[in-house]
Amino acid sequence: MNVILMEHIVRHILSNFGVVPSSFIDYTQTRSLHSKEFMLEQKLLFRGESGDIIRNPVYGCQVAVDQKEFKILLGDCSQDSEIPEFCLIVQFTDNPSYGVYLVCDPSVDSEALIAVSINEKDWMPCNTFLQATFLAAMEQLKDIGLGWSKCTDYQKNYETLLTMINFHNAYCEVDNEGQES
């Protein structure tokens, strides 16, 4: 798996949704998924280093394509105000779910990950072919220029987001423990 390529793909996808900055995005023409317009009632809960509970927002948008719903949820997984972290899941009715994760700090490992789930519970990292397929699908959605609206009826998607965050944490924990210091 090409980790550098995967990080570039994840950054590109998050840039297209106005989540992370990029020089190729015209932000006067792009609605950011990371805005109050798409903020949902659900929150992500994390335990901070001092034991306090951190409550982070979840954002969601959807669009109908060929009588099927295409939903995207973005979770702000940041536990430090200086280091933004995001998890984004993409679900299209009757298709596998995809998830991406990124830590936005150039001084640490980005822990970039693209994963796929057939049942919204069990995830596996995508190989380069699946990463490219997912990127192509996301580019097609951007090029079509569909009108996104705020998510409704997203509880199942929220639960899928939580499973992706848990998968990322377990995956990176194992990966980091296996590396030499």
Q: What is the pLDDT of residues 6-61, one digit of tens each?
A: 999 999 999 988 888 776 766 666 678 899 999 999 999 998 778 889 999 999 99
Looking at residue 74, the DSSP 8-state letter turns out to be E
Find the DSSP H helices in the chain. Answer: 3-16, 128-144, 155-177
CA dist., res. 77 & res. 75, Å (int): 6
Q: What is the pLDDT of residues 124-169, one digit of tens each?
A: 999 999 999 999 989 887 766 668 899 999 999 999 999 999 999 9
pLDDT of residue 148: 87
Which residue in 74, 85, 100, 84 sits closest to 157, CA to CA?
74
- Residue recorded with tokens 């951190």: 54
Write down the domain spans for the chain.
3-175
CA dist., res. 71 & res. 97, Å (int): 10
Cα 12 to Cα 4, 32, 80: the distances in Å are 12, 14, 23
pLDDT of residue 30: 67
| pLDDT band, very low/low/confident/very high, at 181 (cuts 50, 70, 90) | very low
pTM of the model: 0.90
Residue that wins the pLDDT comparison between 175 and 122 = 122
Which residue in 69, 85, 71 sits closest to 40, CA to CA?
71
